[in-house]
Structure 1
Amino acid sequence: MGKGLNGTELGAGISQRKDGIYCARYVNRLGKRKYIYDSNLRRIKQLLKQAIKEDKEKASLEYDYTLNQWFDFWFENYKKKEGMSRRYLENISHNYDLYVRDVGDIDITKFKNIDALRIVKKALKVSKTAGETVRHTLTQMMEKAFLNDIVRKNVCKSIDAQPRNKTIKQPLSKRDEKMLLKGCTNQLHKDMIEFNINTGLRISELLGLSFDEVDLDKKFIYIKHQISDYPDDNGNYFFRETKTKNARYVPLNERALIILRRNIKLRQKQLEEGTHKRYYKQHSDISKELIFVNTRGDCFTRAGFHSVLAYIKDRAIEDGYRYDCKNISPHTFRHTFATRCMEAGMTPNTVSTLLGHTSVRMTLHYVHNSIDQFNDDIVLIESI
Structure 2
Amino acid sequence: MVKGKRIYIYSRDLDSLVVDFEKAKEEAANEVEYLKRNLTLDNWFHEWFENVKCHKVKETSRPTMRNGYKRTFGFYMGRMKITDIRPIDIQNTINAMEKAGASHSAMRDNLGRIRECLEFAVANQFIPANPCIQIEVPWSFRRPKEEVALSQEEQNEFLSAMEDNWYRELAYFMCLTGVRVGELGGVKWKDIDVKNKTIRIERALSCNYVDGVKRQALTTPKTVNSIRTIPFIGEMEEILLSQKQKQSVLKKELGKRWRGKGEFEDLVFTTGMGSPCSRYIVDKEIKKALNRMRTKEAQSAMEENREPREFRDFHPHSLRHTFATRCFEAGMEPKVVQMLMGHSSITVTLNIYTHVMKSKLHEEVSKFGLANKEPIVITPIETPSFSAHAYY
1:78 aligned residue (49, 52, 58):
52
Shift of 1:168: 0.4
Question: Aligned equivalents of 2:316 and 2:32: distance in 1?
Answer: 60
Question: Aligned equivalents of 1:33 and 1:348: distance in 2?
Answer: 58
2:283 aligned residue (306, 313, 336):
306
Question: Aligned equivalents of 1:99 and 1:333: distance in 2?
Answer: 38
Q: Does 1:328 align with 2:314?
A: yes
Q: Does 1:340 align with 2:318?
A: no
- 2:356 aligns to what SS in structure 1? coil
Shift of 1:268: 2.9
- Counterpart of 2:172 in structure 1 is 194
- Counterpart of 1:382 in structure 2 is 369
Change (3 A) 1:189 1:159: farther
- 2:230 aligns to what SS in structure 1? strand
Q: Does 1:248 align with 2:224?
A: no
Deviations along 1:87-120, one digit per CA (max 9) or x if unpaired, are: 43552464258623xx444332331233123223
- 1:119 aligns to what SS in structure 2? helix
Task: After TM superposition, list the pairs within 5 Å mapping 1:83-122 onto structure 2.
Answer: 83-85=58-60, 87-88=63-64, 91-92=67-68, 94-95=70-71, 99-100=75-76, 103-122=77-96
Structure 1 stretch displaced more, 77-86 or 244-253: 77-86
2:356 aligned residue (355, 363, 369):
369
Question: Aligned equivalents of 2:75 and 2:209: distance in 1?
Answer: 26
Change (3 A) 1:187 1:105: closer
Shift of 1:309: 1.4
CA contact (8 A) 1:238 1:285 kept: no
- Counterpart of 1:354 in structure 2 is 340
Q: Does 1:296 align with 2:269?
A: no
RMSD: 3.6
Aligned sequence identity (%): 23
CA contact (8 A) 1:67 1:105 kept: yes
- 1:237 aligns to what SS in structure 2? strand
2:158 aligned residue (155, 180, 192):
180
Change (3 A) 1:165 1:143: farther
- 2:216 aligns to what SS in structure 1? coil
1:206 aligned residue (180, 184, 190):
184
Deviations along 1:13-64, one digit per CA (max 9) or x if unpaired, are: xxxxxxxxxxxxxx9xx656989xxxxxxxxxxxxxxxxxxxxxxxxxx955
Change (3 A) 1:98 1:216: same
Question: Aligned equivalents of 2:58 and 2:223: distance in 1?
Answer: 16
CA contact (8 A) 1:196 1:334 kept: yes
Structure 2's unaligned 5+ residue stretches are 1-25, 299-307, 372-392
Structure 1's unaligned 5+ residue stretches are 1-26, 36-61
Question: Aligned equivalents of 2:124 and 2:74: distance in 1?
Answer: 26
CA contact (8 A) 2:73 2:93 kept: no
CA contact (8 A) 1:237 1:286 kept: no
CA contact (8 A) 1:223 1:248 kept: yes
Question: Aligned equivalents of 1:370 and 1:314: distance in 2?
Answer: 30
- Counterpart of 1:40 in structure 2 is none
Shift of 1:194: 2.2
CA contact (8 A) 2:187 2:204 kept: yes
TM-score by length of 2: 0.70
Shift of 1:206: 1.1
CA contact (8 A) 1:138 1:156 kept: no
TM-score by length of 1: 0.72
Change (3 A) 1:359 1:34: closer
Task: After TM superposition, list the pairs within 5 Å mapping 1:208-223 onto structure 2.
Answer: 208-223=186-201
Code of the residue aligned with 2:276 in structure 1: it is C
